[in-house]
Structure 1
Amino acid sequence: MSARLRLPDAVAVATAGLRARRTRTSLSALGIAIAVAAVVAVLGIAESAKADLLTQLGEQGNLLTVASAESVNGRTVSLPVTAAPMIARIPPVRTVTAVGSVDNIAVRRSRAIPKEQTGGMNVLATQASLPTTMSAHMLLGRFLDATAERYPVVVLGYEAAKILGIASLAVPTPILLGDHWFTVAGVLAPVAVAPEIDVAALISFGQAAQVFGRTAGPSRIYLRADPDQVADVAAVLTATTVPDGKDDVQVRHPSDLLVARIAAKGAFVGLFLGLGGIALLIAGVGVANIMVISVLERRGEIGLRRALGARRGHVAAQFLLESTLLTAIGGVLGVGLGVLATAIAARLGGDPVAIPPEAPLAGLAAALLVGALAGWYPALRAARLSPVEALRTL
């Protein structure tokens, strides 16, 4: 009557081997866990960031911009003064706001800073409707209102505030625009579809005219249209902005920037997944090495089992199952760590936590596959041991 090895018995024998060498088992499982956590975290963090970008894309998909396609001596040619009111009359247009470049004005904290050190910041004249049209939010303070037309107050974009080192408005904070002092009234949150706003110091058109003598029309117009009629509105914007057709204008979808970011994140996911796969492969080689050592150390046990009737297949199954269980433990731990890392990264980045269901499954499946491959050679080597030679080590 041939000997049989039941699955519960095989599992008991395999787990006994793992429990007998707990430190070695823990370190080997930790290597697998780190690699699996990296794979799960890459997929989870990328999906969370993509979910945030898709949300923004849905919010900003009906935003359009109109700007002059020409420039003279590095300065943008202004649009007609009547452009914004004319665009606002297009029936599907919901909101309109305009900004105007105030050229060659340095933004500084003090006169000790040379005017040439601009830090990439610029000054824009803007209307009070900008936050509504751009779906922008205030981080600090308030946006420009009707009083800003008469008083020297400024709102900073997110990056401009960082460059100037302004993190609080608990006390009045003056900055220099050119040679004139303006009081900071607020700081905008990042505007993903308009990077030019993030690095700008925003003042009213009234102050731009009164202080800097700017009386030209806007340099750029932002508008929101009914989502179902964005293409129709875009088709008539050029003719509406310059009815005489003498000037050339550009009509753009700022949401194209978000689409490009989504594509870029997808490209980086493949790169980091490759690195995670390499880490998992290295961890698998470590498991294979540990299992070979385990076979050498347990030759006496193998010989005794063979002498008591265990077949070659039983011995091979024991070590193959032991290797697979070891990586399964690491895989489960790695999935948990990957999910935790994703949640922390999403919270810090302000993104929704979005983990694709296939990420934990792929991580666990990869761990089991690595365990099976890593245990194949040690199991085969253990099965080939002669009972007589193995018993000599007792």
Structure 2
Amino acid sequence: MQHHCTHGIDSRKDLSFNDLPRSSEPLVSGPSGDGNPGQGLTVLATTPGAVRAMAPRLTAGVALDPYMERTHQPVALLSAAAAGRLGVTRLDAQPAVFIDGLPYTVVGIFDQVQREPGALLGVLIPSSTALDRFGDPGTTPDQAAQALVATRVGAAPVVARQLAVALRPDRPKAFAVTAPPDPHSLRDHVTTDLSGLFLALAGICLLVGTVGIANTTLVAVLERTEEIGLRRALGARTRHVAAQFLAESTALGTLGGLIGTSLGVLTVLAVAAARDWTAVLSPATTLPAPLIGSLVGLLAGLYPSLRAARIDPLKALRTG
């Protein structure tokens, strides 16, 4: 079991909560301590303001409130994951969990949080109770108090720049402030990654298409050996035979490009119509697609056409 801390601040006033010291004792659901169902769970000593900053969604009971903090109540707010591991399913019987052998009455269960995702595998207890039972958390990085700041949408970068000075104008460097990533930058990074992924998939599809066209054209050459020999016997030159199969593979690639482009455009239009969006189709993206298909067909037909041109007409007619 790990004990951690996150310091909580909401948009109205400074609200802190302290960390618990590390302990070798398990977090269990009974005083006997059978097994160690609390393995991997985190205990957070929180103030009510920190709980508000997390914005948990309660599925049962109540959240930690100022009365519990002020009166040092031995209570706990469990995440759904922690409740499941500890076997807490109902609160009407006032179940308790034990931390270091000391009982904490479970007052609520939550399943989601808007901030501090580490709390989803955690147990929250009042910071005043934690100070009484475990003392000061210390200043080591894994135990020192942290701050969780709830801001309005888009205000996080500004608050991050001003927070340390607002808390301690005399010692702003005493705080290490980590702002969440800018939504626009994050969106751009995600868009770039997705574009790269789609380009990679498109490249793989083109490679598969090239191999498929080359295989189809090569099979056609092998099945039409007698025809090739007859054309050569009637005066067709090697370039005529090569041009024939090269034209067939190019036509096949062009047809594939046209069909793929049409399906893509129809898919975009169907999705836009279903979601009441305005479809935006860039000619620079759609028009070159058939040309790319033609180029793929041309490249795929090079080897089969050269092989067809090298067929000996005498052997071809004798084989036929």
The verdict on a shared fold, with TM-score over 0.5 as the criterion, is yes
Counterpart-to-counterpart distance in 2, 1:77 and 1:247 = 20
Counterpart amino acid of residue 240 in structure 1: A
Q: Within 5 Å, which residues of 2 pair with 1:2-13? A: none
Counterpart-to-counterpart distance in 1, 2:248 and 2:22 = 77
Q: Within 5 Å, which residues of 2 pair with 1:215-230? A: 219-225=145-151
Counterpart-to-counterpart distance in 2, 1:323 and 1:299 = 23
Is the counterpart of residue 203 in structure 1 residue 133 in structure 2? no
How far apart are 1:123 and its partner, in Å?
1.5
Counterpart amino acid of residue 241 in structure 1: L
Q: State which of 98, 106, 124 in structure 1 corresponds to 2:16.
A: 98
Q: State which of 40, 59, 63 in structure 2 corresponds to 1:144.
A: 63
Contact 1:287 1:323 in 2 (8 A): yes
DSSP-derived class of the 1:220 partner: coil
Is the counterpart of residue 124 in structure 1 residue 54 in structure 2? no
Identical-pair percentage:
26
Specify which structure has the bigger relative contact order, considering alpha-carbon pairs within 8 angstroms and separated by 6 or more residues: 1
Counterpart-to-counterpart distance in 1, 2:216 and 2:148 = 63
How far apart are 1:143 and its partner, in Å?
5.4
Contact 1:95 1:225 in 2 (8 A): no
Q: State which of 100, 115, 135 in structure 2 corresponds to 1:178.
A: 100
Alignment partner, residue 274 of structure 2 = none
DSSP-derived class of the 1:155 partner: strand
**Larger of the two Rg values belongs to structure:** 2
Query: Which has the larger share of helix?
Result: 1
DSSP-derived class of the 2:305 partner: helix
Task: Give unpaired runs (5+ residues) of structure 2.
Answer: 139-143, 272-279
Counterpart-to-counterpart distance in 2, 1:139 and 1:308 = 86
Counterpart-to-counterpart distance in 2, 1:364 and 1:169 = 62
DSSP-derived class of the 2:18 partner: strand
Contact 2:229 2:317 in 1 (8 A): yes
Contact 2:251 2:294 in 1 (8 A): no
Question: TM-score scaled to structure 1, two decimals?
Answer: 0.50
Counterpart amino acid of residue 98 in structure 2: L
Alignment partner, residue 155 of structure 1 = 78
Question: TM-score scaled to structure 2, two decimals?
Answer: 0.59
Alignment partner, residue 187 of structure 1 = 110
- From the superposition, tell whether residues 226 and 185 of structure 1 become closer, same or farther in structure 2 (CA, over 3 Å): closer
Counterpart-to-counterpart distance in 2, 1:100 and 1:242 = 18
Counterpart amino acid of residue 17 in structure 2: V
- From the superposition, tell whether residues 322 and 366 of structure 1 become closer, same or farther in structure 2 (CA, over 3 Å): closer
DSSP-derived class of the 1:133 partner: helix
Counterpart-to-counterpart distance in 2, 1:258 and 1:131 = 28
Alignment partner, residue 168 of structure 2 = 242
How far apart are 1:186 and its partner, in Å?
1.6
Counterpart amino acid of residue 138 in structure 1: R
Counterpart amino acid of residue 141 in structure 1: A
Task: Give unpaired runs (5+ residues) of structure 1.
Answer: 1-74, 344-355
